[in-house]
């Protein structure tokens, strides 16, 4: 009798653990494997990037207009908890909405629990065309 109860308890714990893995790991965001796109800043969908201190998301990439001559493009999700990050021009950091980790404009970890930097992509502005690539 006691053996049957132990096996039932073990089975319930195993099933609960498996369910949690499926529920929570299944929601993780997929990282871009190939980033290569061009945004036309004369297009109203992207024209906000003509103003320093602004940002937008495109294809899981956070694109930032840091100042008049500098753009940054980084992965959109925190390396600790996979929450979306956002640029805060008031403090000059990219901030995770979940754990509060802060990243510098180059993607390096400024402080917080993030274990590694955000993936950084190349940017090139030619006229009104901003190209983002690996």
pLDDT at 5: 56
The model carries a pTM of 0.76
Q: Could you tell me if 15 and 43 lie in one domain?
A: no
CATH of the domain at 69: 2.102.10.10
pLDDT confidence of residue 8: 56
Residues 26 and 74 in one domain: no
69 and 122 in a single domain? The answer is yes
pLDDT of residue 95: 98
Digits of tens for pLDDT over the chain (134 positions)? Answer: 555 555 454 444 434 443 333 333 334 455 556 899 999 999 999 999 999 999 999 999 999 999 999 999 999 999 999 999 999 999 999 999 999 999 999 999 999 999 999 999 999 999 999 999 99
56 and 95 share a domain? yes
Q: Indicate if 51 and 92 belong to the same structural domain.
A: yes
Q: Are residues 70 and 97 in the same domain?
A: yes
Q: Give the pLDDT confidence score for residue 112 in this predicted structure.
A: 94
In terms of residue numbers, what domain contains 60?
Answer: 36-133
pLDDT at 27: 43
Q: What is the pLDDT of residue 11?
A: 45
Residues 24 and 41 in one domain: no
- Whether 19 and 41 share a structural domain: no
64 and 52 Cβ atoms separated by less than 8 Å = no
Q: Are residues 79 and 100 in the same domain?
A: yes
């Amino acid at each position: 009798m006691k053996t049957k109860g132990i096996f039932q308890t073990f089975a319930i714990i195993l099933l609960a653990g498996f369910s949690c893995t499926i529920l929570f790991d299944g929601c993780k965001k997929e990282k871009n494997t190939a980033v290569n796109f061009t945004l036309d800043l004369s297009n109203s969908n992207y024209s906000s990037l003509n103003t320093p201190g602004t940002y937008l998301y495109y294809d899981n990439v956070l694109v930032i207009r840091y100042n008049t001559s500098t753009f940054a493009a980084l992965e959109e999700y925190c390396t600790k908890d996979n929450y979306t990050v956002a640029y805060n021009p008031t403090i000059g950091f990219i901030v995770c909405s979940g754990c509060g980790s802060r990243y510098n404009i180059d993607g390096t970890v400024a402080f917080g629990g993030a274990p590694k930097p955000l993936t950084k992509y190349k940017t090139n502005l030619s006229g009104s065309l901003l190209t983002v690539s690996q």
